Amino acid sequence: MILKLIFMFFAGYVNIVVEGFFIERFLNICRNKKIFIQDLQRENNTYIKAKILKSDFNEIVHIAKQTKCKVKIHKKSGIPFFINRYRKRKIFAIAVLVIAIFIFTITKFVWNIEVEGNENLSKEEIINIVKEYGINVGKLKSKIDTQKISNEIRLNREDLSWIGINIKGTNVIITVEESTKIPEIIDKNEICDIIASKDAVISKIIVQNGTAKVKEGDKVKKGDVLVEGVMEGEHTGIRQVHADADVFGSIYCEKEKKEEFVQNVTVKTGNEQKKNEICINNFKINLNKGVSKFKNYDTIVTNQKIKFFSNFYFPIEIKTTKYIELTNEPKKYSEDELKSKIETELEAELEKEYEVSKYDEKNKNRNVDIQVENDGLKVKLSYELKEEIGIKRNLN
């Protein structure tokens, strides 16, 4: 029944009203001509309602003439009539079709690459790595063989111990596991030297095997030989050995900075301005005109890719630029404030260069030197860092 209704809907059907005295004859002729009649209902003596297929209508009119009945169309329904009704809106239908095809084709490409699990390598670096193997934004998804590519990367890259590539929607998710480099282990029987790994001052040297080339208090540079793998004996003469020693060095680092009590400090005024841009690959559309109206400002740029659901990214980005107005205001620091301010600045600089925080508390000596001058403070921060600096180098 439902199947029949669906068929009728697709073929198009007409609700007709037949009026006349010989309705039974009319119906019998319809039956003989194999016309499909649905929902026949008598309203009164001379009047029936029925549903017939669109294609049978011409014949019905013909039969009605024969039997001296009148046929009126009450309602037309079904897809052929629907199309006919909207035949003037061709462009609209075409546009809908084009958009559907467009979305369909767009989802066949990769529009976003996400990286997970990276620590030392940046996201850009990993994206560059996978680009070499053929995964980049705008690539056809079906041409990416994730299994093959991840295997190749695993083989060729030593700094990545594992890489997984997942395609979800238009999104490629790259999960990496970085490997730490294992120091070269030299066999006990092989001949080797010990060299310095850093510029330092030797604080302690205990030689178990080999000949020490430096003594405590010596300044060494990176790569200098500390202990040579040579032994001189009275009876044995000169022979080469596997050098073994514990060498500790001190690294001295210091930074100095002078700042005045009264300084110009940049302060946010609270005024903000937003600008939106639409980026399609490298093509940009500015939604707001001109540059910022502020004199001094900070800019914060955020990019957001347009996406469908959670994983269907489109190659369209919305770039929002936020301008925050800044002003310079003089500020007077007290001695303590200025001191802690300079110290934290210096600390950050040293951290950047020497990675101070990596050392244990007992292996570092902190020293702060403060000089008060008439209009400012001069702070000198120095660290003494103790570390084992000897590394073995194979002679062969």
Partner 1 sequence: MKNYDKVSKFLEIPREVVSNIPKITITGFDEILIENFKGILEYEDFFTRISTSLGNININGFNLKLNQMTDDDIIVTGKIENIDFENKN
CB of 37 to partner 1, least distance (A): 4
| Alpha-carbon span 18 to 50, nearest angstrom | 8
Instruction: Report the relative pairing of strands 230-233 and 219-220 from DSSP bridges.
Output: unpaired
For the chain, give the number of residues: 396
User: How many amino acids of this chain bind partner 1 (CB under 8 A)?
Assistant: 18
C-beta of 4 vs 366, nearer to partner 1: 4
| Alpha-carbon span 71 to 369, nearest angstrom | 110
At 311, list the tokens: 């994983």
Rounded (5°) CA angle 11-14-20: 145
C-beta of 51 vs 392, nearer to partner 1: 51
| Alpha-carbon span 184 to 392, nearest angstrom | 9
Q: Crossing angle for the helix pair 57-66 and 23-32, nearest 10 degrees?
A: 130
Q: Which of 45, 189, 310, 396 binds partner 1 (CB under 8 A)?
A: 45
Letters for 46-65 (x = contact with partner 1 by CB under 8 A, - = none) are --x-----------------
CB of 18 to partner 1, least distance (A): 11
C-beta of 36 vs 252, nearer to partner 1: 36
Count the neighbouring beta carbons within 10 Å of the beta carbon of residue 170.
22
- List the interface residues with partner 1, window 350-379 (CB under 8 A): none
Count the neighbouring beta carbons within 10 Å of the beta carbon of residue 360.
9
Rounded (5°) CA angle 151-152-154: 65
C-beta of 41 vs 236, nearer to partner 1: 41
Answer yes or no whether residue 74 interacts with partner 1 by CB under 8 A: no
The answer to whether residues 251 and 258 touch, using CB atoms and an 8 Å cutoff, is no
C-beta of 30 vs 115, nearer to partner 1: 30
CB of 50 to partner 1, least distance (A): 8
C-beta of 7 vs 86, nearer to partner 1: 7
Letters for 4-43 (x = contact with partner 1 by CB under 8 A, - = none) are x------------------xx--xx-xxx-x-xxxxxxx-
Count the neighbouring beta carbons within 10 Å of the beta carbon of residue 227.
26
C-beta of 40 vs 121, nearer to partner 1: 40
Instruction: Give the single-character DSSP code of 22.
Output: -
CB of 98 to partner 1, least distance (A): 42
CB of 71 to partner 1, least distance (A): 16
C-beta of 42 vs 332, nearer to partner 1: 42
| Alpha-carbon span 273 to 324, nearest angstrom | 7
| Alpha-carbon span 345 to 185, nearest angstrom | 40
Binding site for partner 1 (CB under 8 A): 4, 23-24, 27-28, 30-32, 34, 36-42, 45, 48
